[in-house]
Amino acid sequence: AGEKIFRCPFCPYFEIRAATVGNMFMECKSLECRRVSCSTCMLECPRLDEGYEDDESNSSSLQDIERHYKCAELGVQKERVEQALELGMKVSCPSCGVSG
């Protein structure tokens, strides 16, 4: 499967991780940031404390996190589109030879 760069959308922090299906959230380890984001849509996700299952105030946070599972389902298609766009910028025009 290889490795992939996961970057925080809110600061310069990044890390290299195995590109597996379970890597859908990015928890920034920068002391100034510490935000959690979806690695597909790059939006911020709520941080849940230990024992969140017992706390009713976390129900909206849980629903917000569940929405990002749809992002994970669409992640493969998003990556294919990004690869096609990147390839389109590299391929030369058959008529004039200009790429991009």
User: Cβ contacts of residue 20 below 8 Å, gap of 6+?
Assistant: 1
Cα distances from 75 to residues 4, 7, 21, 78, in angstroms, run: 13, 15, 9, 5
Is 55 a residue whose pLDDT tops 90?
no
pTM: 0.64
The whole-angstrom separation of Cα 50 and Cα 44 is 19
Q: List, in order, residues 6 or more apart from 65 with CB less than 8 Å away.
A: 45, 46, 48
pLDDT of residue 84: 87
Which band of pLDDT confidence, cut at 50, 70 and 90, is reported for residue 14?
very high
**pLDDT range class, residue 11, cuts 50, 70, 90:** very high
Bridge partners of 3, per DSSP, are 18
